[in-house]
Amino acid sequence: MCVFCQIAAGDIPSKKVYEDEQICAFYDVNPQAPVHILVIPREHIASVDAVTKENSGIVARIFETIPSIAQKAGLSGGYRVITNCGADACQSVPHLHFHILGGRQLSDAMA
For residue 29, give the DSSP letter: S
- To ligand DGP, the closest distance from the beta carbon of 13 in angstroms equals 8
Q: Which stretch binds ligand DGP (CB under 6 A): 52-60, 66-74, 84-92, 103-111?
A: 84-92
CB atoms within 10 A of CB 96: 25
Q: Is 5 helix (H, G, I), strand (E, B) or coil?
A: helix
- To ligand DGP, the closest distance from the beta carbon of 93 in angstroms equals 4
Could you list the active site residues?
97
Verify binding: residue 98, ligand DGP, rule CB under 6 A. Answer: no
- What share of residues in the chain are helix, strand, coil (percent, to 5)? 25, 25, 50
Q: Which stretch binds ligand DGP (CB under 6 A): 59-67, 69-77, 87-95, 103-111?
A: 87-95
In the stretch 4-33, what mask flags binding to ligand DGP with x, by CB under 6 A?
Answer: ---x----x-x-----------xxxxx---
Verify binding: residue 46, ligand DGP, rule CB under 6 A. Answer: no
Integer Rg of the chain from CA: 13
Give DSSP secondary structure letters for 92-109. Answer: -SSS--EEEEESSPPPS-
Contacts (Cβ under 8 Å, ≥6 apart) of 77: 102
**Binding stretches for ligand DGP (CB under 6 A):** 3, 7, 12, 14, 26-30, 38, 84, 90-93
